[in-house]
Amino acid sequence: MPIEVKVPSVGESITSGVLGVWNKPDGSYVKAGETLFEIETDKVTSEVVAESAGQLKHLVKAGDTVKIGQVVASIDEKAKAPAETPAEAKPKKEEANGSAKTSRVEASAPVAATAARGKNADDLSPAVRYQTAEKGIDPASIQGTGKDGRILKGDVLAAAEKGTGSASSAPAAPRPAGEKTSRRKMSPLRQKIAARLLAAQQETAHLTTFNEVDLSNIMALRTKFQDRFVKKHEIKLGFMSFFVKAVVHALQVVPAINARIDGDEVVQNNFYDIGVAISTEKGLMVPVVRDADRLTFAGVEKEIAAYAKKARDGKITLADLEGGVFTITNGGVFGSLLSTPILNPPQCGILGMHTIQERPVAISGRVEIRPMMYLALTYDHRLVDGREAVTFLATVKEVAENPAAVLLEV
């Protein structure tokens, strides 16, 4: 009897989702451990793998709404695996009479054919075909990293981030006559994001205060120690680790912001799990850096890098997103000069970072050009007063401008 493939549970509060894409076509032979499909919920996107080898049969279509525990496919274990294509014969040993040159030329033909694999539409996996079509990317413009140069899903996502081969760089195709608009259903994740943002504005007394920070000292530290930092920790020293540390210090100075409202009670947090917003193709996610006060700068950078990779690969879990006490979001990576971030309930504070600009500023009676960044703190005025909010942001500014203070714990 064929094995049933069911939609797994991805969280206690999640009861349904959308089968986003089939990674293996109907009727194909799959191996144990291969990814079958992606399930998109209102919180995370998860991959489901085959528990055993056999012939796959689809029972639902990509884009269908499915319930947790629903049978969406079956695997026939009794089906025979297709015969593998025998490896091409190696070139004969070159003779001493000068035939080496001929052998190399003849051998180059199968190599060229191998390099071309994965570029034709018929050679692409269903997931890659779906992603390239959705993002308007020409597969021929992507350098595959899979076996024999095959294009993987990650290659498409990386190309989309860089804008490589995207339709935006090519002349726009003429619009079909009579089609001025198009419609598509919002993904469960986007629906959840929309609902949370609206609720945050309606259910909190949010207010934003601003300041600016001189990043000269941070940039000097990064320039001075970057090579040694990378050599020792195998990761770059970015700006985010400085601001995570600055936020932890500020939360210790102003504990009122490290709290939340629960009914008519105030819940005071005595730990420092900091959410860092990450933009993905499916929407904004906020994975949480646990116990940020106990991590080194390298530890913070590695945590953020690991979460970013999981987000790109669609492997963020519900546990990664829960339990944060404060959020940092960086619109500066997209060029934002100034914005008012929206709270991430039930947290009562969120820090917005922005783009770095060289601007003239007054330093000890002189005008100097410094790398400046605007900071924005949005807070819940029901729990946090203006004095506390301004003190918090001023503390972040002070630590960012004097990062040695974190190391000296002053």
Contact 377, 388 (CB under 8 A): no
- Furthest CA-CA distance within the chain: 93
209 token code pair = 């205060």
Q: How many CA atoms does the CB half-sphere of 285 hold within 13 Å?
A: 29
Could you give phi then psi for residue 266, rounded to 5 degrees? Answer: -105, 120
| Amino acid letter for position 137 | I
Q: Which of helix, strand or coil describes residue 6?
A: strand
CA distances from 197 to 44, 103, 200, 204 (A): 17, 65, 5, 11
Contacts of 353 (CB under 8 A, 6+ apart): 239, 243, 328, 329, 330, 331, 332, 373, 375
- Residue found by looking up tokens 């959308």 in the block: 18
Beta pairing partners, 66: 17
Beta-carbon contacts of residue 375 (< 8 Å; ≥ 6 apart): 210, 211, 212, 213, 351, 352, 353, 354, 393, 396, 397
Q: Which of 123, 273, 293, 381 is catalytic?
A: 381
Catalytic-residue membership of 123: no
Question: 385 an active-site residue?
Answer: yes
Query: Active-site residue numbers?
Result: 381, 385
